[in-house]
Structure 1
Amino acid sequence: MVELANNLGTEKISKLLIKQAVPATIGILVMSINMIVDTIFVGQWIGVLAIAAITVVLPIAFLISSIGMGIGIGGSSIISRALGAGKSDKAFLTFGNQISLTILLAIIFVILGVFFSVPILTLFGAKGEILPIAATYFDVIIYGVPFLAFAMMGNPVIRAEGKPKFAMVAMIIPAFVNIILDIVFIKYFHWGMWGAGLATSISYASCGLFILYFFLSNKSELKIIPKNFIIEPKIVREIVALGGVTVVRQGAISVLMIVLNYSLFKYGGEIAISVYGIINRVMMFALSPVLGVSQGFLPVAGFNIGAQKKERVKETIKTAIAFGTVLGTIIFVGILIFKEEIIRIFTTDTTLIADTPHALLVVFLVTPIVTMQLIGSAYFQAAGKAMPALILTLLKQGIFLIPLAYFLPKYFGVEGVWWSFPISDVLSTIITIIVVKREMNKHLTV
């Protein structure tokens, strides 16, 4: 643990952030490319409705896997601060409890998904001709979700150990597996949506098994010790309080998807859902550098908070925001210049090519300022302050975007859905700036 302490506690902040953020960005980028290629393959080889079906199903899978992600982020916050304070035993115990919680909860939700697949899909917007295609896909990938949940739990823990390159590899492996199997199962075996689902499920398993291999090998300082599987209520409460932020965020995103799919289907039909399916994939890919900065921020901030190095924490916040703002500006300019070319990658359908570029530009309109939201909520998670982290996390998707996406289309049609994104970004960014400035003045003044 000495090398980790020397690095996160003493190395130059900008260098640390780059060292942590670049592998995280590459990992997220490759996973995003995976989802984009998945969408391209099903769009080109199966049809437009297949894009809509994936758009409906993936938020359900990610809602379940977000349990693992929440446990991973909540636990990694504890682990980072414990390592910063020199409390290795607490770090080991937290890790063991993370494994137990992830496995138990993932299995429960998968069972619910198997027995109630049609009502769940209908709730998330699988209506009309989309439902049977979505059901075929969902019924296969649900069995890979426990592996995804375990991978999502393990990834932030690996970063908390100060080993971001391994976390990056864990995200790259399933992308390559999925792309190769998509080509084999869809194009050559002609297995359609069932083949697409099988490829995705196997890719989830490859990711989970690699994470398991990492923790079983001598590469990890956090060993899998059976005695630490026994639930420690105090540790679990802290994991749930901090990790619940991530779960609630994904829950809000899932509710948002229900509202979006309702509004899109009502005011624009299946085509509007397919338009958003493309925008959503572009969003995952384009925002990956900004998300990488926020992922890299967590272990650096958490360790220095635990070590009571307030100046380094303040510098970490400011540097991460500066990096993210520059990246967000570059992303927006790229979207502005190449929006039509981007859409043509996904589809040859003339209606989608005509409708999507404008919607894409509106959704990305205020991308340069979104880093403030991510770093604001990430700081409070790293500091172990669950309530402000939860509130800031819910600002965009829960408090602003859901009601806007429901009410604006009543007056402006599908256009109202697209404008709900930049409006909610502006409102949530303003509030985040106020909250974070107050926090820094109160608790990070030396």
Structure 2
Amino acid sequence: MDQTSNRYLAQAPIGPLMLKFAVPCILSLLVSSLYNIVDQIFIGQGVGYLGNGATNVVFPITVIALAAALMIGDGCAAFLSICQGQNDTENAHRSVGNAITLLLLCSVVLVVLFAVFRDSILAAFGATENNLSYAIDYFNIIIIGIPFYILTNGINSIIRADGSPKFAMMSTLVGCIMNVILDPIAIFVLHWGVTGAALATIAGQIVSTILGIGYLFRARSFRLQRNSFRLRGKLMAKILPLGVSSLLTQLSIVIIMGVMNTTLVKYGAQSEYGADIPMTVVGIVMKVFQIVIAFVVGVAAGCQPIVGYNYGAGNGRRVRQIFKTMMLTEAAIGVISTLAFQLFPVQIISLFGSESELYNRFAGYSFRIFLSTILLCCLHKAISIFLQSLGKPVQSMTLSLLRDFVLCVPLVLLLPLVVDPGVMGPLYSAPVADVLTLLVAVVMMAGVWKRLDRMQERSFE
């Protein structure tokens, strides 16, 4: 990145600067989330809720792939931003080359593992007798696109850190538009059902990947060389820890979905709702939740190059100002989301197909209970990413694990037995976890705030 861009990161007004980086990042992540949402909408309308239940069963494998992509991509992005602040051009291009090599290796490994353990994976994530055939059809196609999905998401993190968030957004948007166009053709015209939806998704991912790879060879802050792609252990030891928080955040989603699905199937079968309605509805709720998280992560990740550069340059005062502005924005997102989910749950679920009154009733409960503390979730998710931007992977990782693994998983299993027996119990896991996680996040930020104070004092000496 040239000196003019460096001065812009260090001196430009924070509001417009955040807008420049965050909006494209939000749109890029939002479009990425819409891949699954679009499939759910068209499958719900063309196949029915059993088809949606099948995509919910398969969805965790795409999250696993995303976890690998973000560990490498976000780790490289954070390291690249710090290199820019320190004018370290040599490690900049090497970090990107190593990241690309790792993304390719992870792609191959995951495709092989998914293909070999398909039936076990589907069983672990709550496939039922009614939706299993749909799940197999969708799974068999989706894994073909895993390498493109991993490369697209990993490269986009690097592109944003390179100072081109609009391009990252555009490459993802083009792929999503193709998916939106092909989905109804495959489902309603060609009558290919869930298989058609999966093929449409892959087509969009391939286009996005081609655009992302093309960008890397005309980047702003680094120039890839042949030796950039040779793996270096010391360099990977610096990059990967910075992405561990992103990895664990996504893997915790996989674990919680697996536990949630199997628990809902178990208790749902003993209730008036049956096994398929609770699992399908909560799967949709989680995907809608991911749209909100796309805004939250987009704001925080969009700030990452600005935070990383100023932190690397020792400008503690500006880092504090960025944090305050970021948290006000995240709070606004949380308030708007809370109102939408509390007031219009049935209207939201109806986008995914018109079903029975029983189905809609459980959807109302799910939105109003499971997402009741989404404001708190927005705040602690943002703090976790902010800590990652400062090069503090341990604190960031701890915060991510606390909410999505340490708390949510046991709560999903215990609450049906202790607080609200039956299928409603798991819905209370998220509110309890959000309250406790935010308390820990506040304590962590208090320590970071003091260190930024000391950094600010040194800058005036």
TM-score under structure 1 length normalisation:
0.96
Alignment map for 1:284-303 (pairs within 5 Å): 284-303=290-309
* Paired AA for residue 283 in structure 2: G
| Residue pair 1:49, 1:129 contacting (<8 A) in 2 also | yes
Which of the residues 406, 410, 413 maps onto 2:417? 410
Correspondence 1:150 to 2:157: no
Equivalent pair of 1:79/1:160 in contact (CA under 8 Å): yes
Letter in 1 for 2:65: I
**Two-structure CA RMSD over aligned residues (Å):** 1.5
SS in 2 for 1:414: coil
Measure the CA separation in 2 of the matches of 1:298 and 1:312.
13
Give me the whole-angstrom Cα distance separating, in 2, the residues matched to 1:259 and 1:52. Answer: 15
> 1:65–1:145: 8 Å Cα contact kept in structure 2?
no
Specify the code of the residue in structure 2 equivalent to 1:345: L
C-alpha distance in 1 between matches for 2:169 and 2:153: 12
Deviation at 1:223, TM superposition (A): 3.5
Distance 2:117 2:126 in 1: 15
For the pair 1:395 / 2:396, whether they are aligned, the reply is no
Displacement of 1:354 in angstroms is 2.1
Give the Cα separation in 2 of the matches to 1:219 and 1:90. 15
Percent same amino acid among aligned pairs?
30
Change (3 A) 1:382 1:358: same
Residue 103 of structure 1: how far off its partner (Å): 0.4
Task: Show structure 1 runs of 5+ residues with no match.
Answer: none
Whole-Å separation in 1 of the counterparts to 2:194 and 2:162: 39
The answer on whether the counterparts of 1:287 and 1:328 sit within 8 Å (CA) in structure 2 is: no
Do the aligned partners of 1:142 and 1:201 also contact (CA within 8 Å) in 2?
A: no
| Amino acid in structure 2 at the alignment position of 1:305 | Y
2:444 aligned with 1:438: no
- 1:347-383 CA distances to partner (integer Å, 9 max, x unpaired)? 2111322220121011221222223212221122112
> 2:84, 2:221 within 8 Å by CA — same for their partners in 1?
no
- Aligned to 1:128, what secondary structure does the other structure show? coil
Number of the residue aligned with 1:227: 227
Partners of 2:416 and 2:453 in 1: how far apart? 43
Q: Output the amino acid matched with 1:117.
A: R
Alignment of structure 1 residues 153-192 onto 2, 5 Å:
153-192=154-193
2:57 is the counterpart of 1:56 = yes
Q: Which amino acid aligns with 2:248?
A: V
Question: When the two structures are aligned, how many residues end up with a matched partner?
Answer: 445
Deviations along 1:161-180, whole A, 9 cap, x unmatched? Answer: 12111111122122111111
Secondary structure in structure 1 of the residue aligned to 2:174:
helix
Distance 2:9 2:365 in 1: 43
User: Residues 36 and 188 of structure 1: is their aligned pair in 2 closer, same or farther, counting only changes over 3 Å?
Assistant: same
* Match of residue 381 from structure 1: 388
Partner amino acid, structure 2, of 1:166: F
Is 1:120 the counterpart of 2:121 in the alignment? yes
How many Å separate the matches in 2 of 1:70 and 1:334?
32
2:300–2:386 CA contact under 8 A, matched in 1: no
Residue 334 of structure 1: which of 319, 335, 340 is its match?
340
Counterpart CA distance in 1 for 2:392 and 2:360 is 45
The separation in 2 between residues aligned to 1:213 and 1:352, in whole angstroms, is 46
Give the corresponding residue for 1:129. Answer: 130
Q: TM-score, normalised by structure 2?
A: 0.93
Q: Distance in 2 between matches of 1:344 and 1:355?
A: 12
Matched, 1:25 2:26: yes
1:320 equivalenced with 2:326 (yes/no): yes
- 1:145/1:193 CA distance change after superposition, 3 Å: same
